[in-house]
Amino acid sequence: MATEGDPTDLAKVFHLLVLSFTWGMQLWVSFIAGFALVQQVTLHTFGLVQSKLFPVYFYCLLGSNLTSLAVYAVYHPRELLDWHESLQMALFFVALVMSGLNAQWFGPAATEVMFQMREVEEEHGLGNQVGLGSQKEAYAKLKEQDPKYRAYKSKFGRYHGLSNLCNLVGFICTTTNLVYTALNLSTI
């Protein structure tokens, strides 16, 4: 039920906590954790860890984006929105859609193809090195010589790229909403 009144202090705090949780999680996962981890463990271990963490990450994003949109919508009835509030509502919705796409399609598809690539790499003694830079020539040679691996690599690149794009768009939407919320702390 939409309300035209001011949100309660509890609603404001809850909304800000959920929005901050979303932003912090996106910042950590997107720009810190993966880069640190890939330099410390083997590539196959990195892939395995990411395959376990990403579903949790994507569904946490989905839930927190849905919650943020719902709380915002309750206190901003459609018929009373100005263009700033309409833009913010649209950003909440876009962030929700991006996290949904990652949770349901791009994340699982990229993970599935990653495991297929991993099987081929293991057959050729690859994947047990630490860091992205090691054995570049061996990976290039495998891609050149094995059409199945080349197809997997291309498919993985497509899904991984779409997943990254969705994640980045969602991060930009969340960042914009967090800034807008900070500039208007008397409302949500």
**Residue-by-residue DSSP string for 118-185:** HHHHHHTT-S-SBSSSTTHHHHHHHHHH-HHHHHHHHHHHHHHHHHHHHHHHHHHHHHHHHHHHHHTT
Q: Is residue 30 part of a domain?
A: yes
pLDDT score at 151: 96
Q: Is residue 111 part of a domain?
A: yes
Contact present, 73 and 158 (Cβ < 8 Å): no
For 8-39, letters b (16+ CB in 10 Å) and e give eeeebebbbebbeebbebbeebbeebbeeebe
Q: Is residue 2 part of a domain?
A: no
Q: What is the rounded distance in angstroms from the CA atom of residue 183 to the CA atom of residue 188?
A: 10
Q: Report whether pLDDT(157) > 70.
A: yes
How many domains does one find in the chain? 1
pLDDT score at 150: 95
Q: Is residue 4 part of a domain?
A: no
Q: Is residue 105 part of a domain?
A: yes
Q: Which positions ≥6 away from 113 have C-beta within 8 Å?
A: 152, 155, 156, 159
**If pLDDT is split at 50, 70 and 90, which confidence band does 136 have?**
confident
Averaged pLDDT, 182-187:
80
Average pLDDT value over all residues in the chain: 92
The tens digit of pLDDT for each residue in 96-132 reads: 999 999 999 999 999 999 999 999 999 999 988 887 7
pLDDT score at 1: 36
The tens digit of pLDDT for each residue in 88-99 reads: 999 999 999 999
Q: What is the rounded distance in angstroms from the CA atom of residue 59 to the CA atom of residue 65?
A: 10
Q: Is residue 188 part of a domain?
A: no
Q: What is the rounded distance in angstroms from the CA atom of residue 63 to the CA atom of residue 73?
A: 15
Q: Report whether pLDDT(5) > 80.
A: no
Determine the structural domain holding residue 174 and report its residue range: 9-183
The tens digit of pLDDT for each residue in 60-78 reads: 999 999 999 999 999 888 8
pLDDT score at 187: 66
Q: Is residue 93 part of a domain?
A: yes
